[in-house]
Structure 1
Amino acid sequence: MSAEFGRRSGAQSRISQWLRGRRPKGPVENADGGREALLLAAAAAGLPLAQAAYPVGYRCSCDRVGCPTPARHPISFAWQTQSTTDRAQIERWARHQPKANFITATGMVHDVLDVPLDAGREALERLLASGVEVGPVAESGGDRMLFFTATRGTPEDEDEWWPCELDCHPETMDEHPGLRWHCRGSYVLVPPARLPGDLTVEWVRGPEHPLPDPLTLLETLTDACARYAGDNESEQLAAWPHRG
């Protein structure tokens, strides 16, 4: 047993070192492969993309005074129908607006499990050490981690499939400080993206990794969120959203 523990501890140590090394090292435009190549790689993996706002200093590029989500929202209200994986269209968008961020619409091909950064790092380390197949993962804005999964689809009986209010939509983000499940009608920023205050959205594991079933990650993520909430009781964070 001691030998097994030693092997496991060594693996976890290597994973921890790898995760610590995954820190942004400069502006996303200078990332390996370039901004356009990274966007095209995401589209090639099946993530539908649409143009989003970008930071102008500490403000948003949109015309809305006091934008509540600066540089985090789509440009068009028709983002769900405009979202595409078409290479030519994404190239046109990226070249016409070289500063624009991009969102990926969830619930079509993929969902996103969105957790506090510290909880996500802990969960990712545990999942990799356990040999669980983990798909693309991104760090977002210095405080969240995004786990990209296959979509849960459209079950015939929503109540039977999932009785808890985990579904997260852009307008309800503040109601879900713990685990957020982005599916139909929601979106997340896709790397590479820039946010006010020199914050970024960066891949930790790129879109070349196959999308896993969300249920294979859910228990580990909720467990990590529960511990994170327990360590931050003063902030009144909850691992599971409550019904209103």
Structure 2
Amino acid sequence: MRRRREEPDLLLAFVSRGLAIVPAAAPRGPGCSCSRVGCPNPAGHPLSYGWQTEASADPAALDRWRQRLPDVNFATPTGRTHDVLDVPISAGRIAFRALTSTTESLGPVAVSAVGDRCLFFTRARAGGEDDSASDEWWPCDLDAAPETGVGGPGLRWHTRGSYVLVPPARAVNGGRARWIHDPTAQLPDPLRLLGALADACESVAAAGDLTQW
């Protein structure tokens, strides 16, 4: 499958700002490109079990991965340089409009490849790259864990030990992740967005609105 012309620029812009990525599985027919029988998260997970240590923000690494593993998706580990606040698409729409109508700083925002979630990229809540700051990290009931859906169907917080797929990742359903707000925007403090996202989730919880963006 030939890549769209703009795809390399999307990923290169992401890693060039110091945000790491790692190769992830991609659709293969109706299933996953990984070798795992009965994969529970088709085209939605890193290829390697060592994804946290293998991830890199080096553009040269991206070039090597593209040559060796054509047409893969890419994921970004969270909790180092950045976190991701992840909400249902209907709540994401409400929060996005509310935040862009104010002076609140809004960082990169993406729609997931499946099309059902909205991803707000923020600064990391955890200690970051400096291991000496590890004691500053605190767990949260909203924390998301890979492949398990931990964090519930509403607001999820991707931090240490989690990841999200980076646009233009592809899903088994034919969807494609895309940026809806500048991927080069400055990363905001997650706590500054948390209230708006929580309010948006609460406002759509009873209605069950799953309308696409």
**What's the TM-score once normalised by structure 1's chain length?**
0.78
Counting only pairs closer than 5 Å after superposition, residues 164-243 of structure 1 correspond to structure 2 as 164-173=140-149, 176-232=152-208
Q: Bigger relative contact order, structure 1 or 2, given CA contacts below 8 A and separation 6+?
A: 2
Whose helix proportion is higher, 1 or 2? 1
Q: CA deviation at 1:153?
A: 2.4
Shift of 1:175: 5.0
Deviations 1:186-238 (A, max 9, x none): 000011111112111111113210100001100000000011112129x9xxx
5 Å matches for 1:51-200? 51-140=23-112, 141-154=114-127, 156=135, 164-173=140-149, 176-200=152-176
Give 1:185 shift. Answer: 0.5
Equivalent residue letter for 1:195: A
Residue of structure 2 equivalent to 1:4? none
Measure, in 2, the Cα distance between the counterparts of 1:38 and 1:168.
25
Q: Do the aligned partners of residues 191 and 28 (structure 1) sit closer, same or farther apart at CA in structure 2, a change above 3 Å counting? A: farther
- Give TM-score scaled by structure 2 length: 0.89
Percent identity between the aligned chains? 49
CA distance in 2, matches of 1:92, 1:143: 31
Q: Which moved more, 1:43-52 or 1:109-118?
A: 43-52
- SS of 1:198's equivalent? coil
CA distance in 2 between counterparts of 1:88 and 1:46 reads 13
How large is the RMSD of aligned CA atoms in angstroms?
Answer: 2.1
Query: CA 1:84–1:230 in structure 2 vs 1: closer, same or farther (change >3 Å)?
Result: same
Residue 28 of structure 1: CA displacement?
9.6
Q: Is 1:29 paired with 2:29?
A: no
1:111 match: secondary structure: strand
| Structure 2 Cα separation of the partners of residues 78 and 105 of structure 1 | 11
Give the drift of 1:82: 0.5
CA distance in 1, matches of 2:38, 2:151: 20
Cα deviation 1:108-164 (Å, max 9, x = unaligned): 100000000010011000000012110000000110000000001237465xx66x4
C-alpha separation in 1, matches of 2:20 and 2:169: 16
Question: Which secondary structure does the structure 1 equivalent of 2:183 belong to?
Answer: coil
Q: CA deviation at 1:174?
A: 5.4
The structure with the larger Rg is: 1
Listed as ranges, the gaps of 5+ residues in structure 2 are 128-133
Q: CA 1:44–1:157 in 2, change beyond 3 Å: closer, same or farther? A: closer
